[in-house]
A and B are shown apart, each in its own frame.
Chain A
Amino acid sequence: MEESSGPSLGIPPLAILSAVLPPRHPSLLRCVTLAALACVFLSSAAWADSLAKVRESHKLRYGSDAEGGGPYAYPNPANPRDVVGFEVDLMGLLCGALGPDPVFVQGQWDSLLPTLDTGRIDVVVNGYEWTSARAQRYLATRPYYIYELQVMAPSGGAVRTFDDLSRPRPDGRKWRVGVLGGSAAETFANAHGNGQIEVLYFNGATDAMMAVKNGQADATLQDLPAARFYKEHYPSLELAGPPVGRGLYVMYLRKGDEALRDALDRGITRLALNGDLRTLYERYGIWTDTQSELASEVEQASTKAADASSHGLGLIRSYGPTLIWAAGMTIVLSFAAMPIAIVVGLLVALGRLYGPPWMARILALYVEVLRGTPLMLQLYVLYFLLPELGVELPAMVAGIVGLAINYSAYEAEIYRAGLQAIPVGQMEAALALGMSRTMALRRVIVPQAMRIVIPPVTNDFIALFKDTSVCSVISIVELTKRYSILANSTGGVVEFAALTAVLYLLMSLPLSWFSRWFERRLAAEGPRGGLVG
């Protein structure tokens, strides 16, 4: 479940299957979607007696994200292979009464619910607030914590309370507020910003704090426990004003797992009543007076009725346009980055092959470093670390530059192969005609190499298209990020996966067709001649 570069979304295979079918008429899409849903439903029915299974296997697998996850679940500072946190301890207490051993399963925060669908975990426990949309799709336990939202902003800055963010910014632009994508803070900031807030989406709570520290965001809206926990790591930030908004943390389970849910409910009630919960929360410094309501407010989550359509085409109709808009961002990122990558890559390849030895060595290092480290890390460096050195790049610029230099390393290798495939005689013939080396490269060698590299470069273009999704780590919301935000907040995992896959195909297929057409055109010019000797 470790999220790495590339769009690994935890999309159920069925969703992908339904997505590759041509969306010729909507009824077909609907049938396929329903069929996929039915499969998901049936397969969850197969795990019906989760409580029995959990007891039999002595394992309760709970999904959580330890990345930037304090104080919920985070690597133990004393032994980083170990995970600690109030939710980890809570699961320990609950399982102690229930019997099984709690097993921590690491996953990307915003894809924990889709992971639940796959059956790889039994329950999601990671500061997930109760929402009616989620409660329609999943079983929710009774709340185990009442959270509030807290603004964090630079100490002594313009932002003192959340209300400041709903007033016009002095320079007329919008306030940039970083949030954990798909969290309650996102919903709250969008709903209560009075149109003055531009929400920046991050994959981790600490990424958003880092962005505020670097000046890339004006403030971040965090769940209070996280804000308190990480405050000391970001001494330049302060908790601005009183907490705003509130909600309930609940655990989510698959429908059909009522027995397990009821067992967890009983456990939470017991801990709330006997004071163990308070002891636990005080140990982590997250006890607030509000928490005493936990003992009474227990039924709310599971009894509230759900609103709005949360299935099938209704979902796509209401949220589809935002997904298509995000596809536009994917297109902008790739069409800005690839031309740069192609030009830089060509120059790097030429420098390696025809430049002086010192240049060739430096460029070889350039290629190895960029190829040998993950794109995600490079984006982190560009966006989060460069500001420490005084170079501040807007997210879009960092994203485009990051993609471009990363891919330039791959393009350089493709060009190197292409250039080396040109027979030596071509260069000699050009030189013998009185051309300089540079002119021979420009007029004779590179034009021929270009023809050779069209298929692999197109291939890389398509790969880059999908790699734009990695830009979500620096708060850019492109297609994949928007998918995971929507899937997470509405529960429309299958429907949006289908639509997302269709959108990606619609964008990449024309590229493939273009490449094939171009190859055919070159092939029609006849076999390559004059290469003897």
Chain B
Amino acid sequence: MIGALVLRALDRGAIAFLATLAAIAVLVPVLNLALPPTSPFHLSSYFVALFGKYVCLALLALSVDLIWGYCGILSLGHGAFFALGGYAMGMYLMRQIGTRGVYAHPVLPDFMVFLNWPELPVYWYGFQHFAYAAFMVVFVPGVLAFVFGWFAFRSRVTGVYLSIITQALTFALMLGFFRNNFGFGGNNGLTDFKDILGFNVQAPSTRAALFVSSMLALMLGFIICRVVVSSKFGKVLVAIRDAEARTRFLGYRVEAYKLFVFTLSACMAGVAGALYVPQVGIINPSEFSPGNSIEAVIWVAVGGRGTLTGAVLGAVLVNYGKTYFTSGVLAPYWLFVLGGLFVAVTLLLPRGIVGTIHYHWREWRERRRLAAPVPNAAPRPAE
């Protein structure tokens, strides 16, 4: 049954996109590991980690696009779910350090020894097991999103109000995680990781494996999103996006739909964060900063809101631009570029790159069909 659902969800474009992703997922590790460093096609481990980072951010963009592009919920706090997933993974990685830390304490992470914590806080229990940590990666953001969404959607907080409240949520979490007595390492966050599942985090093969896992997560996320948006459920989401009141009057439980898709999206963001942390080697409270969450929204806007491929493309493009700008002499101008991107995309390219291509493609096809003598041309679907 699920198979049928998935098959129906994947049209030709989606399959082509997935195939491309799969090709990259194979090609990058091969170019990195199988080729000697002297070969012109060799890809250094730095790039593998960098691309791995982009892939995680693309998954975050996908989760933002699912709620913003298809349900009209503009969350300016999705970075919070991303960071929570990251912290859950960071806690697992911290517990793996064991006695190799600076203070060589068998149980307590370094920062706790440093701050004179007598014992491990209860909420750190169980994080030495990967399965538990992996569960928490999905569970914590999911529960937070469920509780928050339940409160927000039930009282019909919508539009900019919701955006502001989500921004306040991530801001509050940032303030909290900056505190030392929260037990998450204060403003230094969690870092200095050694092993993941017994493999050295720094080793090229581990990095390649992390890259492949991120790719698989992205593909899985893409398929899930495709299934959601191409089902009847997804049509209701679009209806909510375009006319919430009408959908409610038609008898749909708008709150339930929103709550489900918001929670799903938060879980995806959590997974993205969990895969991100071992590849960048650190998680700290600045991941919660409202600016990060808004940036994730602009990736989606650049690629094309309401097109899943656009979200992925936008995240990779903007982040590549960020790396390009901030690593050279152009660094002071990056914020101008980013700010300009916000303005230019909303003003000049409201459909985003992929959305615009889709639009023109569809128009071109329409015109061709109109030129041919076909009666009863199908009406153009509403945006």
Q: Do A and B bind each other?
A: no
Binding site for A on B (CB under 8 A): none
Binding site for B on A (CB under 8 A): none
